[in-house]
Amino acid sequence: MPLTFFSGIGGASKKGILIKGATYLETLAGLDTVVFDKTGTLTKGTFSVTGVHPAKSVTKDELLDVAAHAEAFSDHPIAISIKEALGRAVDMNRVSDASEAAGHGVQAKVDGQQVYAGNARLMESIGVKAAEPAEIGTVVHVARGGQYLGALVISDVIKENSASAMEALKSAGVKRLVMLTGDRQEVAADIAKKVGLTDYRAELLPEDKVSALEGLLGDGHTVAFTGDGINDAPVLRRADIGIAMGAMGSDAAIEAADVVLMDDDPAKIAQGVRHARRTMRIVHQNIIFALAVKLLVMVLGLCGFANMWLAVFADVGVAMLAILNAMRAMKMK
């Protein structure tokens, strides 16, 4: 029977699905819930500034300039998109005392003045009232010296095959498709509708994702979590089976995951589930066939009808047939 698992793992690896062991292959076969991180998993993770909304007496260029310099030392995709939207090089000499608050935003001194750039919770924590734009997207609010300067709307691009991947998972028998994201409720609802998810959890801090996942575990469900970032590593460990995006995923996520998709294609999850179920069917076929033949020959022997050649077939012959059947798992349909 181990040969069937080896064949199944080998067949999946040929298609860019790396399964780290027989236990995970068996767990994948029983999957009925898949939880997704948003950025880099369902979306491309390539952000662009789609809206600039300065406050009164503030120009768009001033808002972009202050925001880009506040994000000067950050390598987050959102920060990179803001610096690109500025259209010119950031002057690092104008920035000092930069720090990042995970899940909230950044703060730094720009031209000697304290600047905050982040979500509405960050603005609330410093006593600044933020205005929410009507546009759907990730909103970065900017404040300087206690004055609200305005908001930037950053949009991510949904992967072309995300919607078809969700349909494939549903047809494979996966009943719950859930997204976890730190974005606003409006953004999460829009993406969930476009992609075809059954549920979502929005406005989550990185540490909240583990709690959200634990709420989906239990009650006989087998839950997979799919992510690619360094913040996803604890959630990948906590799920029944962790699935990492291998092409652009962080080393921490790949190390923590049980299954790695080498081309970041979410559609490969449904392929992996179908292949795991087919492999398990072959395992069960071999077990039932071997036990049935051996039991039959044993009964015939007790009745005096079995000879040596029949006994050889029950041992060597059954093993050979089981090996040939196991080799079918090397081909992934």
The single-letter code of the amino acid at 91 is D
Burial of residue 226 (number of CB atoms within 10 Å: 0-12, 13-18, 19+): buried
Cα separation of 192 and 139, whole Å? 18
Cα separation of 23 and 160, whole Å? 32
Is 91 among the residues known to form the active site? Answer: no
Among the listed residues 151, 197, 218, the one whose alpha carbon sits nearest the alpha carbon of residue 41: 197
Which pairing describes strands 138-144 and 147-155: parallel, antiparallel, or unpaired?
Answer: antiparallel
Paired residues of 141 in beta bridges: 118, 151
Give CA 148 to chain center in angstroms.
Answer: 35
Q: Name residues whose C-beta falls within 8 Å of residue 154's C-beta, 6 or more positions apart in sequence.
A: 47, 48, 49, 50, 78, 81, 82, 137, 138, 139, 140
Catalytic residue chosen out of the listed positions 37, 156, 183, 258: 37
Question: Which single residue is written with the structure tokens 């000697």?
Answer: 112
Q: What angle do CA 278, 282, 286 make, to 5 degrees?
A: 170
Q: Name residues whose C-beta falls within 8 Å of residue 13's C-beta, 6 or more positions apart in sequence.
A: 19
For 330, half-sphere exposure in the C-beta direction (CA atoms, 13 angstrom radius) is 8
| Catalytic center residues | 37
